[in-house]
Amino acid sequence: MNHTRTFMLLAAMTALFMGVGFLVGGPAGMVIAFFVAVALNAFSYWNADKIVLKAYRAQPAERFANDPAIRAYLEDTRRLAASAGLPEPNICVIDMPQPNAFATGRDPRHAAVVATTGLLRMLTREEVAGVMAHELAHVKNRDTLTMTVTATIAGAVGILSSFAFFFGGGRERGGALAMLLVMLLAPIAAAIVQFAISRSREYEADRVGAEICGDPLWLASALEKIAGGAKRIANDRAERNPATAHMFIINPLSGRGADSLFSTHPATANRVARLEALATEMGRPVRRTAYVDEGPWGARPRGPHGGPWG
């Protein structure tokens, strides 16, 4: 089913790309857009994960294994991957104050999981494990290919549609108004496709991730802290690459918390409620253990838990 959904998504994105090409350059523009879309699909399949990791300046976590928090992150992620029956992924960190995480890669053998230093500073070890179990669930469900390729193509659609503003293609088919509609509607249409697949897959990754780590409440607590941190702390790299927002465990863009068609993620409260219901089904008492103290960042782990850059 996942492969079918992936094929349908890529077909929809390709058709959208071709439609923009037609409005910009007529039949010839549509043909050119088709071949560009095919090339983008092929390039994205092999390289999109590398592009995303480079865009966010992700670094191998092993370089900072002398840090206690990074060492725990490495050990726990390796243990969780083995428990889930997955090959060990590339485990990376991003020097970024916003707490967040994502996974990428075309298949489980070529996967990477990424945590920000802000996440490792703010969360407890159990909560970090819950987050990484969620990301490994995306790898196990083979969501990462679709999510990563979608980010690349959605960005390309936005770039292509913006050409309409500068070139006169399509004047005989509606003039400046048609070009304005292309410029405005094409990125929105790409975003709707991207958002629609993201929300359902986040719920499923929450469920599978909770099973991988063994305690849904670890992830529930982590989601609440990450959501609070993401509202307070900007993610400049995500703001510059909004087509990648759906890859993160919590929307990294400011002011987008609603559980609606135009949200990259379900509302955190909805996700937490589902995880608490799952915890009840698993016989776990729905209560929050006092793992954290309050500090200038809000909820913080007890004891030293700094990131690799201090």
Half-sphere exposure of residue 12, counting CA atoms within 13 Å on the CB side? 19
Question: For the packed helices 175-213 and 143-166, what is the interaxial angle rounded to 10 degrees?
Answer: 160
> What gap in Å lies between CA 244 and CA 148, rounded to an integer?
8
Residue pair 47/31 in contact by the 8 Å Cβ criterion: no
Strands 111-116 and 101-105: antiparallel
| Chain CA centroid to CA 274, Å | 20
Distance of CA 254 to the CA centre of its chain: 15
Catalytic residue among 126, 135, 202, 224: 135
> By C-alpha distance, which of 23, 250, 264 is closest to 151?
264
Q: Which residue has the tokens 């008492």?
A: 285
Alpha-carbon torsion 177, 183, 184, 190, what sign? positive
Would residue 135 show up in a list of annotated catalytic residues for this protein? Answer: yes
Radius of gyration, CA atoms only, the chain: 20
Instruction: Record the tokens describing residue 105, joined without a space.
Output: 């890669």
Give the active site residues. 135
